[in-house]
Chains A and B, each alone.
Chain A
Amino acid sequence: MKVVVDLSSCDLHGLCVEAAPEVFEIGDDGALRVLNETPSDDLRAKVDKAVRECPTGAISVTE
């Protein structure tokens, strides 16, 4: 899977960081960073949780 974040929609709620810390991080500059744009399938459940819990719908996953 490939993880894409629309940074213009990201509102820094940080729920993705909690759901999938292996994939998302808020950096020292205060912006969201995707640590791993192509996470392995064992992270699928965590990434799915991040997608559905994002209040601004900023995260999408393509196969």
Chain B
Amino acid sequence: MSSDMTHSEAIDLLAWYVTDSLDREESAAVARHVESCETCRQEVRELKLVHQSVAEVGVEEPAYRPALVDEALARIDQLAGERKRQPRGPVVALTAAVRALGHAIGWDATPVFARVALVAQLALLIAIGSIAMRERPIGHEYVKTLSGQTAAPTGARLSVAFRDSATFAQVQTLLGELDSQIVAGPTALGLYTIAIGPRTNVDQVARQLQASGLATFVAPVAR
């Protein structure tokens, strides 16, 4: 503020001039103006009285109770006790554990760009892992002829095509229930050869395969 303060600038600051809360430069400029301005001098007198009136605590006003601090500390203790007693849910516990781990490995001190890079790498690894772990559809399974390696059922055989959505595990489970197993396939047309157990009815297996919703084509293999 310049040293030649105008009347309107000075009168706007008088309240804070009276309470001594202006900075040194402003206060000096106001003081210089007040010296030469009767209106401002009168205003200063009035404001000093307002200051005294507002600053003093009137007898009619309720008194401050110093015991308030004890009440506040008791409340703090109570809140701390409640927090201790509160059972920690699994999410809270997990969050705390992750935070503790992060602190232990110095995550807090790692720069933001490095954190982003690490998180991106972790996300990529998880994505690759989940793709690798996902159940594979039956179409991706190549079954070698088991003859000569294990004792394949010697009964009737079926030529079966499975839906693309059917997984290898689903097919294996179903065939196990039907006392059957894949002995060859898939062919270029996606057909598997299923060997039926000697004591199992081939027509019944064919019907159950069709009814399962996993097979799209079932036909007996001529022997």
A binds B: no
